[in-house]
Amino acid sequence: MTAQTRIVKGFDLALARRDFAILGREVHGKPLVYLDNAASAQKPRPVIDAMAHFATSEYANVHRGVHFLSAVATGRYEAARETVRRFLHAAHADEIVFTKGGTEAINLVAYSFLEPRIQQGDEIVLTVMEHHSNIVPWHFLRERRGATFKWIDVSDDGALDLEELALAIGPRTRLVAVAHMSNVLGTVNPLKEIVRLAHARGVPVLADGCQGAVHETIDVRDLDIDFYALTGHKLYGPTGIGALYGKRALLKSMRPFNGGGEMIREVTRAEISYADPPARFEAGTPPIIEAVGLAAAISYLDGLDHEGLRAHEQALLEHARKELGALNWVRIIGDAPGKGPILSFEAEGMHAHDVATILDREGVAVRAGHHCAQPLMERFGVASTTRLSFGLYNTHEEVDRAVAALHKARKILG
């Protein structure tokens, strides 16, 4: 039995790979090895089929018409919301707001929740491992409202410094914004502990779950977290859809985000009143087909053996770490205990873009650059890194092909 066909605790890799037709294609005459999953994951057949079926035979606008298809489409859209609720273990479906992605979800919290509550000199606690999507919306509040930042550092292995975090939260802290999982280091942050520390001082917490939602089980009630943002396309779902979980009382207290149809209660010439959440935050026609696709992706993941899948992805990470760790010209960046299946590295004398170009010619797709995490690059003293990020369909042979391609890069550039 080869690794290609092996079954880890009920997770059947060969069977899962058959759901991703794109894995059968070639790139530059070589079989594709897709190791850029943290940027975006490929889409399984059931997701594509669900969207095609919905568009083919059930589509109409939602919440509007009295006609048959409008009712069917509304049912599907709201069922998708329920699927996301279940996925996050939220108490109520109205705590799930559909957005166009993780970025919009965080911008929504910045605009609708935090901006009216923040004054000159108030603080937002951030970590240096944040993606720009969890930095730039707060910079807007720095520019517009005079908010200040407290940056929490990581240790050399990429673990968050919780002591520093605890000390950083003070009387003027208005929010802690933290990645659930780093898109560069793979570090998984202890959300429950972070929430406990923040709530002890009355400070709400937002988690950027764009990576975390893919690999971790999330129970927003157990975490007691205030906001959790996720995106569909990294979760094997379509682009153009994401979700924001927010506690019901918080969402109810927030001003609208965009203005338009769907988000009002009543509009007169003189004034308006707003709909309750989640409609209040979903102005205009939402990404309906994409919501159906996101629900299909979550259902698809639900159908896989979670423990087996996790063990498989961890085995891939371990294999890559062992292979790259053995090379004295490679420096792995991020080695925190319990990290997710993301491996960034710097190769001596080789720029990440040159490495990625040579890997690409071998059919191996990786990400090279600053990964939209420039404060983190600065922390580790690098301009860019090469990143392998694993998905459910990757194999040990693919890791070997990436490593062989890296040796080739060394031969050309070293």
Out of 368, 372, 373, 409, which one is annotated catalytic? Answer: 372
d(CA 164, CA 170): 12
The single residue among 377, 388, 392, 403 that binds another protein, judged by CB under 8 A, is 377
Q: Cα–Cα distances in Å, from 316 out to 23, 287, 338?
A: 17, 34, 14
- Closer to another protein by CB, 253 or 357: give it: 357
Of residues 305 and 360, the one with the C-beta less far from another protein: 360
Q: What's the closest the beta carbon of residue 60 comes to another protein, in angstroms?
A: 39
Do the beta carbons of residue 288 and residue 119 sit within 8 Å?
no
Pairing, β 7-8 against β 11-12: antiparallel
Residue 239 interacts with another protein (CB under 8 A)? no
Residues 30-89 close enough to bind another protein by CB under 8 A: none
Report in angstroms how near the CB of residue 352 gets to another protein at its nearest: 7
Residues 6+ apart with CB under 8 A from 276: 94, 252
Rule CB under 8 A: choose which of 107, 187, 189, 384 binds another protein: 384
Stretch of residues binding another protein (CB under 8 A), selected from 18-26, 118-126, 224-232, 406-414 = 406-414
**Which class for 284: exposed (0-12), middle (13-18), buried (19 or more C-beta within 10 A)?**
exposed
Smallest distance, another protein to C-beta of residue 139, A: 15
- CB-based burial label for 221 (10 Å; 0-12, 13-18, 19+): exposed
> Out of 9, 25, 28, 265, which residue is the one contacting another protein (CB under 8 A)?
28
Instruction: Give the angle subtended at the CA of 410 by the CAs of 406 and 414, to the nearest 5°.
Output: 155
Q: Find the binding residues for another protein in span 333-372 (CB under 8 A).
A: 350-354, 357-358, 361, 368-370
Number of residues interacting with another protein: please give it, by CB under 8 A. Answer: 19
Q: How far is the CB of 308 from another protein (least distance, A)?
A: 36
User: Which residues, listed in sequence order, are joined to residue 331 by a DSSP beta bridge?
Assistant: 346
Return the residue matching tokens 């990400």: 367
Measured at the CA of 310, the angle between CA 309 and CA 313, to 5 degrees, comes to 85
Q: Is 210 annotated as catalytic?
A: no
CB of 378 to another protein, least distance (A): 10
Binding-site ranges for another protein (CB under 8 A): 28, 350-354, 357-358, 361, 368-370, 374, 377, 383-384, 408, 412-413
Catalytic positions, please?
A: 372
